[in-house]
């Protein structure tokens, strides 16, 4: 019997609430054991919360625009199963352009999966967002030189692609319906 979207959403919300509750219990236990860290934990948590409140509305607007204006067949064509290696390099390019924290990329990754991008392309996109940035490459070039930058960038691209393919293969072995 197939789950309805509302049942899936309810299960997902319940899972998230249980996870949050578990994290809070662990935090309370750790703060009881290490009370001298309480102020640092509360300060860091508050700063992260404020950062999220400031960034997430913009992310949600961008996600809405993406959902409406980027058709599913375009994503499937350029990042889907038929895109091949060109799709991998497009995922690297798209992932390396924006700057900002990695958690901003997760809603985009979810939308890409929903629109038919293959798992390897999404993993490559997230990995490129995390470790390949155009401004970072320019700073690296300036301080560490062209040889270092070229070798590091080349190895990063190779391993990001290899990781994407491996993750897709592993997920495909566990869940035949996950591969697009």
pLDDT of residue 160: 96
Mean per-residue pLDDT pooled into runs of 10, the chain (180 residues): 75 89 93 92 90 83 83 88 91 87 87 92 95 90 94 96 95 70
Residue 97, pLDDT score: 87
Q: Tell which residue, 52, 78, 98, has the closest CA to residue 180.
A: 78
Residues making up the chain, counted from first to last: 180
Burial per residue of 151-171, b for 16 or more beta-carbon CB atoms within 10 angstroms, e otherwise: eebeebbeebbeebbebbeee
Q: Quick check: 167 and 174 in contact, CB under 8 A?
A: no
Cβ atoms of 121 and 112 within 8 Å: the answer is yes
Can you give the pLDDT at residue 118?
94
CA distance 121 to 89: 9
- For residue 122, the model assigns a pLDDT of 96
DSSP assigned state of 4: P
C-beta contacts of 65-68 below 8 A and 24+ residues apart: 66/108, 66/111, 67/111
- Tokens standing for 84? 């091949």
Q: Is 39 left (phi over 0), alpha (psi -120 to 50) or beta?
A: alpha
Instruction: Let me know the angle formed at the C-alpha of 91 by 89 and 94, rounded to the nearest 5 degrees.
Output: 110
């Amino acid at each position: 019997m197939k789950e309805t979207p509302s049942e899936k959403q309810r299960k997902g919300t319940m899972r998230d609430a249980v996870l949050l509750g578990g994290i809070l219990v662990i935090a309370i236990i750790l703060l009881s054991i290490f009370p001298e860290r309480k102020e640092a934990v509360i300060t860091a948590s508050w700063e992260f919360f404020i950062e999220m409140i400031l960034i997430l509305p913009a992310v949600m607007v961008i996600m809405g625009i993406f959902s409406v204006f980027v058709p599913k067949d375009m994503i499937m064509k350029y990042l889907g199963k038929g895109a091949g290696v060109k799709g991998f390099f497009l995922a690297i390019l798209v992932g390396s352009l924006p700057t900002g924290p990695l958690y901003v990329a997760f809603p985009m990754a979810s939308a890409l999966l929903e629109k038919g991008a293959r798992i390897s392309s999404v993993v490559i996109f997230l990995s490129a967002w995390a470790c390949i940035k155009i401004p970072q490459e320019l700073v690296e070039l300036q301080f560490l030189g062209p040889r270092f930058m070229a070798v590091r960038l080349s190895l990063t691209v190779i391993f990001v692609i290899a990781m994407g393919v491996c993750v897709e293969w592993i997920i495909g072995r566990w869940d035949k319906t996950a591969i697009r």
